[in-house]
Amino acid sequence: MDFATAMRISSSGLTAQRTRMNTVSSNIANINTTRTPEGGAYRRKDVVFEAIPDARDFGEIVSSSPSTDLQRVQVSDVVVDRKAPLLKYEPDHPDANEEGYVSYPNINLMEEMANMIQATRAYEANISTMQATKDMALGAIELGR
């Protein structure tokens, strides 16, 4: 694997984890949002990753051998959770229904924090990989002197 390929694969991981972190942050920020422009309570979002061949163009994908296929990560979709909202009895709330219940997002703060820690660690691992790749390239240059 060459220097550019290693950096491209690690940077795809950084981009994917940044998107995941933004999604988790949005979930936490909207944990008490009872009214959205779409109507109803905020719906939790989750990121879906997919592995794609690491190639710069279609020609590289077609010409590469299956045994040496390197893959990078890409965000394929951001899905909206379809779980029912949590109902809390608050008859004085402006968004309460006829029975006095307010629909709150079905978001578990501990689950979101665990997702955030996992995304942070994956991001840090990709940074470490990029640093190690850079150090190896600099070492190779020093050998050539």
Q: Are 123 and 103 in contact (CB under 8 A)?
A: no
Arithmetic mean of pLDDT, 86-93: 94
Of residues 104 and 64, which shows the higher confidence score? Answer: 104
Mean pLDDT of the chain: 89
Element at 125 (helix H, strand E): helix 109-144
Q: Are 81 and 106 in contact (CB under 8 A)?
A: yes
Q: Are 138 and 15 in contact (CB under 8 A)?
A: no
Arithmetic mean of pLDDT, 7-23: 94
Q: What is the pLDDT at residue 145?
A: 78
Q: Where are the domains of the chain?
A: 3-31+45-80+107-144
Q: Which two tokens stand for residue 111?
A: 């689950």
pLDDT in tens, 116-143: 999 999 999 999 999 999 999 899 888 8
For residue 4, pLDDT beyond 70: yes
Q: What percent of the chain is modeled with pLDDT above 90?
A: 68
Q: What is the pLDDT at residue 77?
A: 95
Could you tell me the pTM of the whole model? 0.81
Q: What is the pLDDT at residue 10?
A: 92
pLDDT in tens, 25-72: 999 999 999 999 988 899 999 999 999 887 666 666 566 665 456 788
Residue 137 makes CB contacts below 8 A (sequence gap 6+) with 3
Q: What is the pLDDT at residue 64?
A: 61
Q: Which two tokens stand for residue 130?
A: 């990029």
Amino acid at 28: I
